Amino acid sequence: MGWVAQALEKVRKRKPLVQNITNFVVMNTTANALLAIGASPVMAHAREELEDMLRIADSLVINIGTLDEHWIASMEKAVKIASELKKPTVLDPVGAGATKLRTETALKLLDMGSVTILRGNFGEIASLLGEHGKTRGVDSAAYEKDRAKELAFIAAKEFNTVVAVTGPVDYVSDGEEVYAVYNGHEMLGRVTGTGCMVTAITGAFAAVEEPLKAAVSALVVFGIAAEKAYEEAKYPGSFHVKLYDWLYRIDGELINKMGRVRKVEP
């Protein structure tokens, strides 16, 4: 787990500026998560300022949770600019499979060939691979452990990017290797925006580490923070507050003690 601890140290030393085009529901939540972990958030959606903002940003996070035609245009332009500037881009295809608009928007962004990391739940990634009808609202479809591992591997090859499929066990693949992350807690499902939080944090790690390690590191750190938060707070409201506290408090010693990740066969 040494490299996960090192990745966190890099985030805190560099304090990367993470440009977010995200959704109304989670703006405050994800901004606070980035600040707690040691990064710097910026939430900027206007097309007119994207180039200026991305020039100073260290990474880009796209979250399609609340779409409209103006935000879609901004997302497409941002991905294009980030590619030109060689800035890592993380995509969260929130609710892909629930509506045609969400699925098509996510696929178009992926087809642009510039997404560094794709982070979604089981139903979202399955839908993007053509298994439609498995997503209800923005909640995950029925999770299947072996299938989740396979989805991460296949999607990574299909979209030529690192893919993280999150659930009871998280699987991360670059199309060659697959890592399983066993950290986390079911209380994360009782608080809105926790998936969006880990996507934003992935953007911070992507700014300082290569994509596969960045995705794994973000999931391990977030999962441990959730476990520690639940030790102190057994209910959703207080758990949410403690989650920020532990994103701030987590360190290399705790990561090395509690981190549960291993490389698995594809």
Cα(57)–Cα(146) distance, integer angstroms: 37
Q: Who's near 22: CB < 8 A, 6+ residues apart?
A: 30, 43, 61, 62, 63, 65, 92, 196, 200
Phi-psi region of 184 (alpha: psi -120 to 50; beta: other; left: phi over 0): left
Cα(41)–Cα(43) distance, integer angstroms: 7
| Residue 194: its H or E element | helix 194-206
Are 222 and 193 spatial neighbours (Cβ–Cβ below 8 Å)?
no
Are 56 and 207 spatial neighbours (Cβ–Cβ below 8 Å)?
no
Are 163 and 156 spatial neighbours (Cβ–Cβ below 8 Å)?
yes
- Give the number of residues written for the chain: 266
Cα(204)–Cα(11) distance, integer angstroms: 7
Choose among 244, 219, 221, 235: nearest CA to 169. Answer: 219
Q: Who's near 63: CB < 8 A, 6+ residues apart?
A: 20, 21, 22, 23, 26, 30, 92, 94, 196, 199, 200
166 is in an annotated binding site: yes
119 is in an annotated binding site: yes
Two structure tokens written together for 21: 């085009």
47 is in an annotated binding site: no
99 is in an annotated binding site: no
Binding site per annotation, positions for ATP: 119, 166
Binding site per annotation, positions for substrate: 43, 193
Binding site per annotation, positions: 43, 119, 166, 193
